[in-house]
Amino acid sequence: MTDATTQLQRLRASIDNIDAALVFMLAERFRCTKQVGELKAEHGMPASDPGREERQIARLRRLAEEADLDPEFAQKWFGFVVAEVIRHHRIAAEDVSEDAPERAAD
């Protein structure tokens, strides 16, 4: 094996480890946001919070700049994640409203 091939394998192994960590971190984030969605649904709160989203975008853009990551990319990634979270929150709200007659009977 050439030195370049060895170096490439090492770099790819690092990328694979980072990808695995990202998947597990994202899964943990979604576990937390699921709880948020359930809480919002139980209390009749809206699925989205535009003010918080704006603050989070500004915060993530700052973090991206500090990390030498393109802030536009960070914002696009966050936008995708938030859209998915809101979708989950709406599903949770629908589930709660469907269960409402059952709860009233309890």
pTM over 0.85: no
Where is pLDDT greater, at 97 or 6? 6
Residues 6+ apart with CB under 8 A from 95: 41
Q: State the Rg of the chain over Cα.
A: 20
CATH number at residue 41: 1.20.59.10
Other beta carbons within 10 Å of 20 = 10
Length of the chain: 106
Structure tokens at 35: 């709880």
Share of the chain above pLDDT 70, in %: 93
**Average pLDDT across the chain, whole number:** 90
Least confident of 5-14, 23-32, 41-50, 64-73: 41-50
- Residue 58: domain span: 3-105
* Tens-place pLDDT, residues 45-68: 998 899 999 999 999 999 999 999
The total domain count for the chain is: 1
Structure tokens at 27: 């899964």
